[in-house]
Structures are given as C-alpha cells and as structure tokens.
Amino acid sequence: MNPSFRTPKRGPSRAHATAGFEELIRRLVKGASELQAIESGQVDAIIDPATGRAILLPEAQEALREDQARDRSLVRLSSDWRWEKDKDYRFVSCEGATIGSSGFENKTIIGKRLWDLPFDNMSKVDWRAHRSKLKRRAAYRDLELRSRDHAGGVRYFSVSGEPIFDGQGQFKGYRGTARDISNFKLAEAAWQESTGIASATLDALAAQICVLDSAGTVILAARAWRAFAPAKGCIGIGVPEGVNYLAVCDNAGEGERDNGIAIAAGIRQVIAGERELFRYEYGCDWPIGRCWFTLSATGLPGDRAARVVISHEKTTRRKRAEQLPGLDYPVAKRAPIYPVPKRVPIANGVLAAMPRKEYQRLVAGLEPVSLTFGDVLYEPGDSIRYIYFPSDCLVSLLTQVEDRMALEVGLVGSEGMVGIPLALGISTSSVRALVQGTGAAMRMEAERFQLEFRQSPSLQQELYRYTHLLMAQFTQTAACNRFHVVEARLARWLSMTRDRVRSDRFHLTHEFLADMLGVQRVGVTNAASALRKRKLIEYSRGNITILDRKGLNAASCGCYRIIKNLFDGAQR
C-alpha cells in the first residue's frame, strides 16, 4: 500500500504553513477533545467537512516527507535506477546513477516500452509472456535483460516492477527498480566455469571420489564413484548424491560393521575440524582373493557447504607387493623363458633373474635403445663399447672366414646378453654381432658394466650360467654345421629364431640365411622349397611364416632339441 501523499496547496515556508494551519484548525475543529489532541501533537490530519479531503498537519507532512526520502535513499542503495511507466507501459521517468556507457539512460528510454529497447536475450515468446503478466497487473521480480553498451561490452540488468493504482483503484502504470548486475553475472559465469572444471577433473580421476557436507550427505560424486557397483565389503562406496554416507557407514551390515564404525568416526572428526586428514585401509575377501582399499577423507577449510572430500582407491596390488617383498626374485627365477611366462615384468631374462635391489641398481645405468635389422653392434676385433640386453630383438653372432664367408655360431635373444667377453675380462669382440630381428634392447656402457659386474654376485652368477649356455650353443652349432644337411639346419635355425623373437613371422632374405648357415644361396633356396613343400613354412620376398611349429621342430636336426633342453634346464 502506498500512501497517496497529497500536499496541501500551501507555501513551502514552514512558519507560514504553521500560521495558515492554526487558522484552518480554528475554522474546522470545534470539539474540545479534538483540539486537545491537536495541541498534544497526537493528530495527523484534519478532514475538510466541505470536501472530505484529509489535510495533513505540518508535523505529519514533514514526517511523511522524511519517510519518502528514506524510502528513496533505500531504493537508491539497493538499486541503480528507479523508474515509472504509464498505463501503456511507456517509461515516464527513470532516475538514478547514470552510467554513461550502460545503455540504460533517461534519454534513450523515456517514452519507450521495455521491449522497444535493444535487449538481446528475450525471444518473442518471452516478451509475450511478460506482456501477459503486465496485463494481469502482476508484479514482476528480477527480470534479467542483456544488452550491449556503447563500448560493445555485454551488460546485464535486473528489472523489478509493481503496478500502481490511483485512489479509485484505476490502473495507472508500473513503478520499479533496475540494477546493473553485469559484474554479478560475469562472476557467476566464472564460478560456473571453475565448478565445471573441478567436476570434470574429478570425473577424470580413476579413484572413487565424492564430496560430503557437514551432515555427511553426498553433495557431489565423481564419475568413478557413481559407476562403482556396490560390492561386498566396500562400505557405502557408490551411494548416490543426496544420500547420507555416514548413515550408510553407521548401518553397515555383518562383517563390515567394524570398518563402517571406524570410517564414520574418522569422517566425523574431519567434519568437526579435529583432524585434517583421515586415512583408513581395510581388506575384504572377494572371490578373486583378498582385496585392499584405502579410504581418505580430507577436510575442506571455510564455511562452505562442502566439508569433506572422500577418496576411495583399490590398493590391493601395492598391499600385496608390501606383504611379499621377496617374492619377485623366486618367481622370476623359476619361470621358464619358453614358453613365455605370463608375468615377467622385465623383458630380458638375465635382468629378470636379478634380485630386486640389484636390478634397481643396474637399471640406473641402462638405457633403452631400438635395434634395427642389419645393425652391426661389433665387428671382430672391435673393442666393446656397450653391452646389450635384448628385450624383443635378435642378435646373431657370426664368425668370419676370409673376407666374404660368414657363419652363424650363436643367436642371442631376450634370454641373454650381447657382449659376453666383457664378463670374462676381455674388452674386444671375437665375433660379429649383427642385428637380425628389429626390436628393443637395454644397453649399458662397457665401463659401467664392468663395475656393476664386479659388485654384483647375482649378475656374475647369471652371466657365467649364460656364458656356459652360449658355449654349448657354439659347440653344438659347430658340430651341426659339419654333420647335418642344410634342410635340417634351416629348420633348426628357424625354430631357434622363432623361440627367441616369439613370433611365427619374420623377415629374412635367402642371402642372409646363406650367411647364417654358411652355405651357397642356392642351397638355402632348395632347403626352403623343401620345407615349403612339406607345408611347414611359407615364404615370399623375404617374409617367412612358420605354418607348422611342431612339424618344423621335428624336421630340425637333433641339435635344436639339445640346445633348447640346455636353455630350458638352465632356467630351472
């Protein structure tokens, strides 16, 4: 309700007005009680019996004027503009802070309707809804409008208005306020963006994460948390947003009760601010074995709704590793290299056989390299600069006879090391080391290797064992080359290569094979054709595919089995 404040037609001077009023009172008021009330200052207005109009006494006028001034100043404080519109919704006044560039100024809006102004966030439908509201003479609050200011920047306004009626209840127009809320909107947008980034970051993490409020209710859950299917033993992980996590912990079922109580107590301490971090590790028996989880509750400072971040991780692997510190060594040592053990963490057999501590020291001096078919690591007589532990490449050791003739005497794959002379105290190579299968290896500088070798009994033991195997391979190959036919030797060679590269397909030319076997090219061609006829292998343009592994093994000379048994046996 708005007092329709009517100023009597009197001069502005207070003294003059008071004098005029005394006369008026004398004329209009006759009753003693009325006069007494007027004298004691308890009356606001006198009614003119001629017109029925109420005439405010000077004190009341002053008070109302002050009231209005106070209202205005409050409006000014809480808004940037006050405006009035006539019954056709045209602006008739707009006063307030003129922000030169705001675009919301007196001269631009007087006489216009709200929808005549260049606001760009309202559709025709929006304006229609707004107009129907006005038609119903309804008040509207915080209508958000967007426009561009003179400088081209985006401005947001919040406009509120309510209808005004005259004494007879006739609609006169609207009156209201407007605020420039650009800064607020920009801050809101920035906040939304940062919240978006935060929740996207949470979603990207593998751990199950959620945020609790002071009552323990989940107010934000990351994707991994939401996706976590309720599992036996995992107290309450995956409860949806809006559910109280502490209540779930409190009511944990049989077998989980102790963990539930401990977790709830810890989280409550974090919420109460008694501790910053609560970490709880627990295990539960699953069909796949005992699994371990770590739950962390981190307190959030401040008075915001979000109080605790809960992070839940599966730590089974780490826990097992901690519990069985010595297991790596016997497992790796016992595992035969052929067939490929499923869980050899280190590709090279010699390195894999090292105890963890010595391996970690060795690794510091190793660098991974990629070796390509045809690379020559050493020539006979060269001093050895690097030793190599092949991971999945293959290196042939060739003895050169005269200048052009060569013969393979040994083959090193992931089971061994290239550069054995160094382990025996010799720094030059007697053979040519030729990369025959492209792949990765770890290499170490010769000097460092000699140092490590002297310090590590395990490495010494392993390399002496391997040297013995290599010598056995040399002697067996020497005998084989002398006594066995090319076809059987080719089958042996292909089988050995297959074992070392762990693949049924490799790229080799006949010329290369001739070198390996120490025969003429035509000899290789004939032998290969024979194997192909028996459907043991397929080859075209240097690509060899083993079709029948067992058949090829059977077609090999006995040397293959002897060498293989030696290697397999040595690993046990």
Q: How far is the CB of 135 from other proteins (least distance, A)?
A: 24
Closer residue to other proteins, CB minimum distance, 172 or 357: 172
Which residue, 68 or 132, is less far from other proteins as judged by CB? Answer: 68
Q: How far is the CB of 62 from other proteins (least distance, A)?
A: 9
Pick 166 or 258: Cβ nearer other proteins: 166
Burial 125-147 (b: 16+ CB within 10 A, else e): eeeeebeeebeeeeeeeebebbb
- Residue 367's CB is within 10 A of a number of other CB atoms, namely 11
> At its nearest, how many Å lie between other proteins and the CB of residue 46?
5
For the bound state, the minimum distance from the C-beta of residue 242 to other proteins, rounded and expressed in Å, comes to 44
The pairing of beta strand 277-286 with beta strand 386-390: unpaired
Tell me how far apart the alpha carbons of residues 390 and 499 are, in angstroms, rounded to a whole number. 14
Closer to other proteins by CB, 29 or 347: give it.
Answer: 29
Nearer to other proteins, 34 or 105 (CB): 34
Minimum CB separation of residue 53 from other proteins in Å reads 6
Residues sharing a CB contact under 8 Å with residue 89, sequence separation 6 or more, in sequence order: 113, 114, 134, 173, 174
For other proteins, which is the closer residue by CB, 1 or 15? 1
Dump the DSSP string for 119-156: --S--HHHHHHHHHHHHTT--EEEEEEEEE-TTS-EEE
The distance of closest approach from Cβ of residue 26 to other proteins in the complex, given in angstroms and rounded to an integer, is 13
In the complex with other proteins, which residue's Cβ is closer, 52 or 242? Answer: 52
Of residues 442, 321, 458, 316, the one with CA closest to residue 389: 442
Least Å from the CB of residue 211 to other proteins: 49
Q: How near is the Cβ of 43 to other proteins at its closest, in Å? A: 5
Q: Shortest Cβ distance from residue 169 to other proteins (Å)?
A: 9
Name 352's Cβ contacts closer than 8 Å, sequence gap at least 6: 332, 335, 344, 345, 346
Give the nearer residue to other proteins in terms of CB position, either 4 or 78: 4
Closest separation in Å from C-beta 235 to other proteins: 56
- Write out the H or E segment, with its range, that includes residue 537: strand 537-540
Distance CA 511, CA 525 (A): 9
CB 429 within 8 Å of CB 421 = yes
Quote the strand ranges of 362-510, DSSP E.
367-371, 376-378, 386-390, 394-401, 405-412, 432-437, 439-445, 505-507
Nearer to other proteins, 31 or 287 (CB): 31
Residues 6+ apart with CB under 8 A from 559: 476, 477, 479, 480, 484, 492
**CB of 60: closest distance to other proteins in angstroms?**
4
Please give the DSSP secondary-structure letter assigned to residue 428.
B
Q: DSSP letter string over 175-243?
A: EEEEEE-HHHHHHHHHHHHHHHHHHHHHHH-SSEEEEE-TT-BEEEE-HHHHH----TTSTTTTPPTTS
501: Cβ–Cβ under 8 A, 6 or more apart, which residues? 392, 393, 394, 413, 437, 439
CB of 39 to other proteins, least distance (A): 10
Nearer to other proteins, 41 or 230 (CB): 41
Contact 333, 353 (CB under 8 A): yes
- The nearest distance, CB 23 to other proteins, in angstroms, is 16
Interior/surface letters 525-535, b for 16+ CB within 10 angstroms, e for the rest: eebbebbeebe
Contact 250, 264 (CB under 8 A): yes
Q: Please report how close the Cβ of residue 257 comes to other proteins at its closest, in angstroms.
A: 57
Residue closer to other proteins by CB (options 60, 570) is 60
Nearer to other proteins, 163 or 439 (CB): 163
- Under the rule (CB under 8 A), what is the footprint of other proteins? 1, 3-6, 28-29, 31, 33-34, 37-38, 40-47, 49, 52-54, 56, 59-60, 63-64, 67, 167
Residue whose CB is less far from other proteins, 61 or 429: 61
Nearer to other proteins, 23 or 303 (CB): 23
According to DSSP, residue 518 is labeled: T
The 10 Å Cβ neighbour count of residue 391 is: 19
**Dihedral over Cα of 21, 23, 29, 32: its sign:** positive
The secondary structure of residue 534, as a DSSP letter, is: T
Minimum CB separation of residue 48 from other proteins in Å reads: 9
CA 28 vs CA 23, 36, 44, 343: distances in Å: 9, 14, 14, 112
The DSSP symbol for 12 reads: S
For other proteins, the closer CB: 12 or 167: 167
Distance of CA 72 to the CA centre of its chain: 53
What element of type H or E holds 539? strand 537-540
